[in-house]
Structure 1
Amino acid sequence: MFTRFQYLEYRFGLCAPFLPLVEKKLLIRFISSHGNRSVLHQDVYRWNSNIMNCFRQGDVEAACRLFNEMPMKNLVTWNCMISGYVQNQKISEAHEIFDTMPFRNVVSWTALLTGYAKCGKLEQARDLFDRMPERNVVSWNSMLAGYISNGRIDKAEELFDGMPIRNSVSWATMIDGYLNYGLVSEAQKLFNQVPVKTTSIYNALLSGYVENGYLEEACLLFNKMPQRDVASWTTMITCYSRVGKIESAKHLFDKMLEKDVAAWTAIIQGYLDNGKIEDACKLFEEMPYRDTVAWNSMICGYVHKGMLDNALQLFMQMPKRSIVSWNSILQGYVQQNDMDRAWNFFENMPCRDETSWNTIIAGYQSGEALILYCRMMKDGLKPVQGTFTTVVSVCGTLAIISWGRAIHLSVIKNGYEDDTMITSSLITMYSKCGFIDDAKLVFESIIKRDTVVWNAMIVALAYHGSGTEALALFSSMIQAGSGPDNVTFLGILTACAHRGLVDEGWKYFRSMEDWNLIPEPAHYACMVNLFGRSGLLNEAYNFIKQIHVGLPTHAWETLLGACRIQGNLELGELVSKEIFSNRSLNEGMYILLSNIYAEKGMWENAASIRAIMKHHGAKKEPACSWIEIKGKLSYFMYNGRSHPQIEVIHNHLQTLQVIMEEIG
């Protein structure tokens, strides 16, 4: 049961959000005369404030403990709990609090609605919206923002048209929604319909212009704005920075009468994006006040430049670190391929999010990535595009089809079956595992195919020896209106090489100019491969002598290999001399040249090459292979005995050898 004072205080919490300021003050004065003023204004307020501080710091347990220990709670307390849970992505707990509340107001309903919208559960959000006993403009705006943030622009339009009253936030949210999805003309039309254009509405259109690359329109709008705030100036600083006009951005920054931390961060980010890290560092040192975002911008700038030591120095100086700070340093270790330090850093992180897991998984291009993927899923974190792209790629590299199929199913469950980066990775994975028909099924299931998807299928067919099919698919790609890129022609030239189509290969190689594409070293290497596979060794050598680009090592290996297959010792020696004069041989080339001599019976020459190889410290890495049996991956090293079932395997091999000898 409530005492009279508790009831009055509770009713105040229920109706306070709707009262004009004068009435609110009168009600507080009335309650204060009938109860302990310190309890109302100090005690409960202090408890509520501490609860929200705990939530802001991500300490949900501490917030719950405070809530349970409170001697008395008002409606604001319960609403704080709902909002706090929502901020920390704990929607189930937020709903549980909502269900146990003795009283609710429009703030309670709106807070929970916002939570469901933020986590993509639009049906539950709409159900709450429809069941609300009363709505205000904030409720409508929350539902509107939910539709927009989840890509339901059609539903957002329908809701916006049915709003009984709109404020500047409503108009700005809808304009921003159109611009987020590239619907610039719709945003312009809506902007022209706004009855009273506030600065926030101007800023919504201005920011959208910048994000969509409408830089001229952004400048015109900025110049005709009746009033500008700090956000307007900051947006234009970002605008000029993105098009490389950093001096113009700095000129705007210097003209600003009032600069907040966002403006400082924008100009610093501009210098970083334009490769002027020293200027960015100088401005960072001049900042009168730095928030976590400013620190993170500078740290990220150092990481992207490969200056990890500088990033670490700033990281250690930070008064308060966020998850972004930790993730940036983790990214730095991964970029340097220092996976030992990356792993130690990852293990010592106070908390991890999806980005942390995705970064560490991307660093391991091997079986470790799959193990980490399983750990991530076990911890209840949702994989994103980068996660799936990495683990699918690993499955293809290791040729473990059972894992690949399982991850493909997870891709579908998480709604990424239409993501072109992931689907192209799936095509490549099935191809590398030898399941070209499955690769075709994935390709055929894609409704909107971009160049990346077409490339993946063309390359898959090329490497499976289906050159004619790959060339036919290239024609379909052109007819569909997708322009080829350099990767497309790598696939086409590979297809020609596998089929020995020399004339067609020449035709496609020369046609790159028609698409304003400049052949890269990899394309020249494909042409060498085409000539070599077709037995045209002299043509391959002459082709190399005519070009003026540095060929990748494997192109020379291809030509040397072709010399070995064709038994052309003379050209093989000539090629090796060219390589010796221009670059150091790797172990593969030493072995190829040695084998050419050995197959010709020139044992002294072969031994001489091996001696040179040893003198230069080049050594052949031990061979490694793996096989997947019943979903389990087994690794084997040349001459290795570390496999747990090595004795059983050797016994089976000896048995097979006896049977083979008996059969003859």
Structure 2
Amino acid sequence: MASQIHIDSLLQKCNSLIHMKQLQAHLITTGKFQFHPSRTKLLELFSISPSGDLSFAGKLFRQIQNPSTNDYNAVLRGLAQSSEPTQAILWYRSMLRYLQKIDALTCSFALKGCARALAFSEATQLHSQLLRFGFDADVLLVTTLLDVYAKTGYLDDATKVFDEMPQRDIASWNAMISGLAQGSRPNEALDLFNRMKEEGWKPNEVTVLGALSACSQLGALKQGEIVHGYVVDEKLDVNVIVCNAVIDMYAKCGFVDKAYSVFSSMSCRKSLITWNTMIMAFAMNGDGYKALDLLDGMFLDGTCPDAVSYLAALCACNHAGLVDEGVRLFDSMKVSGVKLNVKHYGSVVDLLGRAGRLKEAYDIINSMPVSPDVVFWQSLLGASKTYGNVEMAETASRKLVEMGSNSCGDFVLLSNVYAAQQRWKDVGRVREAMVNSDVRKVPGFSYTEIDCKMHKFINADQSHPNSKEIYAKLDEIKFRIKAYGYIAETNLVLHDIGDEDKENVLNYHSEKLAVAYGLISTVDGTPIQVIKNLRICVDCHAFMKIISKIYNREIIVRDRARFHRFKDGVCSCRDYW
């Protein structure tokens, strides 16, 4: 017994690879290695300790004459969390091949390897095996299984496993909520979060992170405020990661003042991510000077900005039209030792392009120390479309073709350039190329939140239960806005059809349907919030400005790139986006 206590004491004190090897040598020279129960703990130390050596653990394992399941599991655990998690799957298969007894821990570690390797097929095989072994009542193991399905994108399988669990714990709920949120099913994540509370479970930090992520994706402010209220009530805001998620949620819902209020009142120490999240929040909302002030504030706080901080500040200059400030910031980065990456160059190219300085943007692309990717040429193509520069658009388009880009956006932008010049033969040629390349335009869709429920619209959508009322409202809007000088931007429609038909195409864009529904579903004066998957078009932008004035509504639109706040006929972007 004394010897066992002595060995256990030495194991607890092992904090370096040298100490581990010394203890291993002691066990071998005393003849206790083959029999001593502490050898499994030693294997674990080599396998998972920060100061361990996984390859040495493998060598040590091979010295064991009759390895136990625990010995196998010790190495399997290390492989599952290593940089090569597929090795854990191979190790598990070797256990089966050598008829080694499998236990619940074995399956759990193997599943964790599947999760990290995104190995769905292997996970399904493990699923059938754990059923055969009778481990399906193990809550921890089944939670790991549904986590694998969620992380590999098989959310229906994850949901089926979750629904069939005879018992659940907080980790089960968290894995499912996070999986749905990260798997682009945020509505379901919020539904499950609410169901969890209804069933008497108490959400923890991990739970609210999943719920806040879902709210951020949807721009679901009301539900986000409910989650934030819970965070405050349960004092979860002492966790900086939770605070960062709350800031991000308010920012992505378009309420940067609320985000900054959380940022300013944090009781815990702000992390680098906190600062970066807040700077990007100002950037998305077009508050360029505030973003730059916050970058300066980092130095005063003793927090050193990183490459992400500078990128966020450059994005802020980009969205606010602070061209000279952005160029100065970029130049200062070159001399301050910040390692410039392709995203920094891309942001400056976009900044110059949006300002119409196409030649400067083109020169930066050609002078970069690294090869430009397709995003650079897409930015230049977009700027060429904005400023009607056909020659530069064709140059950018040729580069994209040479790089093998097959994005529908590339074709659409070039088509728009030609359409604006009424060069319908060229439009037809581009459209024919799209067909030949089997390129399809990404359908536009928009969300709006009414009474804590998200409503989704696609272009020309008639599936909504209130479709008749929505279209009647659009007809009313169409009549009223013409009195305010609205003229449809029919040159945006790529089809060679009459102007009246083009107006009808434009009139039923998804964000217009969402706003019309907001107008008929909320009381006068209530802000209307819309989340859109694509960039807002010029016509919809002009449309929203006039509606905000006619109906005395603030309209907040989050598109793929930033926020637009329309109020009294003016947009926060100052028509620069």
TM-score normalised over the length of structure 1? 0.63
**1:601 aligned counterpart, secondary structure:** coil
How far off its partner does 1:645 sit?
A: 1.4
Alignment partners' CA distance in 2, 1:468 and 1:216: 54
Return closer, same or farther for 1:302/1:428 CA change in 2, 3 Å cut-off: closer
Over residues 543-594 of structure 1, what are the superposed CA-to-partner deviations in whole Å (9 max), with x where a residue is unaligned? 2234465656544332211111222111110000000111233112211111
Alignment partners' CA distance in 1, 2:162 and 2:91: 28
1:537·1:562 contact (CA, 8 Å) conserved in 2?
yes
What letter matches 1:445 in structure 2? S
What letter matches 1:506 in structure 2? F
Which 5+ residue runs of structure 1 have no aligned equivalent? Answer: 1-167, 169-195
Return closer, same or farther for 1:262/1:381 CA change in 2, 3 Å cut-off: farther
2:365·2:376 contact (CA, 8 Å) conserved in 1?
no
- Residue in structure 1 matched with residue 75 of structure 2 by the alignment: 267
Over residues 426-482 of structure 1, what are the superposed CA-to-partner deviations in whole Å (9 max), with x where a residue is unaligned? 112111222111111111122301111111111111222222222222232234333
Alignment partners' CA distance in 1, 2:354 and 2:483: 38
- For residues 639-650 of structure 1, the aligned pairs below 5 Å read 639-650=460-471
Matched, 1:363 2:195: no
- Residue in structure 2 matched with residue 325 of structure 1 by the alignment: 141
1:385·1:416 contact (CA, 8 Å) conserved in 2?
yes
Matched, 1:406 2:226: yes
2:215·2:224 contact (CA, 8 Å) conserved in 1?
yes
Count of paired positions? 461
1:502·1:531 contact (CA, 8 Å) conserved in 2?
no
Over residues 208-240 of structure 1, what are the superposed CA-to-partner deviations in whole Å (9 max), with x where a residue is unaligned? x4xxxx555666787789999956433443333
Matched, 1:635 2:441: no
Return closer, same or farther for 1:438/1:544 CA change in 2, 3 Å cut-off: same
More helix by share: 1
2:276 aligned residue (455, 465, 473): 455
What letter matches 2:45 in structure 1? C
Alignment partners' CA distance in 2, 1:215 and 1:438: 49
Matched, 1:418 2:243: no
| Bigger relative contact order (CA 8 A; separation at least 6) | 2
Alignment partners' CA distance in 2, 1:379 and 1:345: 18
- For residues 123-272 of structure 1, the aligned pairs below 5 Å read 198-206=6-14, 209=15, 232-242=38-48, 245-255=53-63, 260-272=68-80
- Residue in structure 2 matched with residue 84 of structure 1 by the alignment: none
How far off its partner does 1:403 sit?
A: 0.8
**1:417 aligned counterpart, secondary structure:** helix
Alignment partners' CA distance in 1, 2:305 and 2:47: 31
How far off its partner does 1:287 sit?
A: 6.4
Return closer, same or farther for 1:328/1:437 CA change in 2, 3 Å cut-off: same
Return closer, same or farther for 1:430/1:333 CA change in 2, 3 Å cut-off: same
Alignment partners' CA distance in 2, 1:616 and 1:524: 30
- Residue in structure 2 matched with residue 535 of structure 1 by the alignment: 356
**1:388 aligned counterpart, secondary structure:** helix
2:46·2:52 contact (CA, 8 Å) conserved in 1?
yes
Matched, 1:475 2:296: yes
Over residues 53-105 of structure 1, what are the superposed CA-to-partner deviations in whole Å (9 max), with x where a residue is unaligned? xxxxxxxxxxxxxxxxxxxxxxxxxxxxxxxxxxxxxxxxxxxxxxxxxxxxx
Query: Looking at CA atoms only, which structure, 1 or 2, has the larger radius of gyration?
Result: 1
How far off its partner does 1:389 sit?
A: 2.0
**1:584 aligned counterpart, secondary structure:** coil
How far off its partner does 1:410 sit?
A: 1.4
How far off its partner does 1:362 sit?
A: 2.2
How far off its partner does 1:642 sit?
A: 1.3
Matched, 1:392 2:206: no
Alignment partners' CA distance in 2, 1:663 and 1:606: 32
**2:236 aligned counterpart, secondary structure:** coil
Alignment partners' CA distance in 1, 2:305 and 2:484: 54
Percent identity between matched residues is 28
2:203 aligned residue (380, 383, 387): 383
2:374·2:403 contact (CA, 8 Å) conserved in 1?
no
Over residues 520-544 of structure 1, what are the superposed CA-to-partner deviations in whole Å (9 max), with x where a residue is unaligned? x433322221221232212222322
The alignment's C-alpha RMSD in Å is: 3.1
1:601 aligned residue (413, 422, 438): 422
What letter matches 2:251 in structure 1? S
Which 5+ residue runs of structure 2 have no aligned equivalent? Answer: 486-577
Return closer, same or farther for 1:287/1:474 CA change in 2, 3 Å cut-off: farther
Alignment partners' CA distance in 1, 2:151 and 2:305: 30
Return closer, same or farther for 1:632/1:300 CA change in 2, 3 Å cut-off: closer
Return closer, same or farther for 1:659/1:474 CA change in 2, 3 Å cut-off: closer
What letter matches 1:308 in structure 2? F
Return closer, same or farther for 1:634/1:382 CA change in 2, 3 Å cut-off: same
What letter matches 2:114 in structure 1? Y
Alignment partners' CA distance in 1, 2:129 and 2:91: 17
TM-score normalised over the length of structure 2? 0.72
Alignment partners' CA distance in 2, 1:216 and 1:380: 50
Alignment partners' CA distance in 1, 2:344 and 2:363: 16
What letter matches 1:412 in structure 2? V
